[in-house]
Amino acid sequence: MATLDVLEIFSGTLSAGDSFEIYDFYDEADYPGDKDRAWFFTVVPDPHQLPASTNVSYPSSSWFQILRAWSGLWTDDSDPAHRGALSRCVEIKNVGDSEGSYHVILSISR
């Protein structure tokens, strides 16, 4: 029976309209085992964690969006430590109208 691991991999604050990318991979190359796992990213707004900037109050709403998710496979024979490492990546954007805090959650089937 498959299990599901749920991990918070990143958190922070982001200004309105800004975006960033996360590249997630492990040094241990296990492509045959990793290719059969499902990976899902979720971004969760956090209205209780105020941004560190001055004169900021709780926003009336906070909106974040996953713009894209993609995968890559390290295949460079000159780098045996990473060869066969499967990379999963995500781009996240604050689509709201104010700075906001968030948590990025990664769920992995095992």
Determine how β-strand 64-73 pairs with β-strand 100-109: unpaired
Q: In the predicted model, is pLDDT for residue 52 greater than 70? A: no
Backbone angles phi, psi at 32, to 5 degrees: -55, -40
**From its phi and psi, is residue 70 left (phi > 0), alpha (psi between -120 and 50) or beta?**
beta
CA distance 31 to 33: 5
> For 36-49, what is each residue's pLDDT tens digit?
788 899 999 987 77
Give the pLDDT band (50/70/90) at residue 54.
Answer: low
**What is the model's pTM?**
0.79
CB of 92 within 8 A of CB of 23? no
CB of 18 within 8 A of CB of 109? no
Query: Residue 28: what pLDDT?
Result: 59
> For 56-95, what is each residue's pLDDT tens digit?
566 678 899 999 999 888 777 777 766 777 888 999 999 9
Helix (H) or strand (E) holding 32: helix 31-34
What average pLDDT does the chain have?
83
CB of 21 within 8 A of CB of 75? no
Query: Residue 105: what pLDDT?
Result: 95
Greater confidence, 74 or 10? 10
| Per-residue CA distances from 94 to 41, 46, 106 (Å) | 15, 12, 18
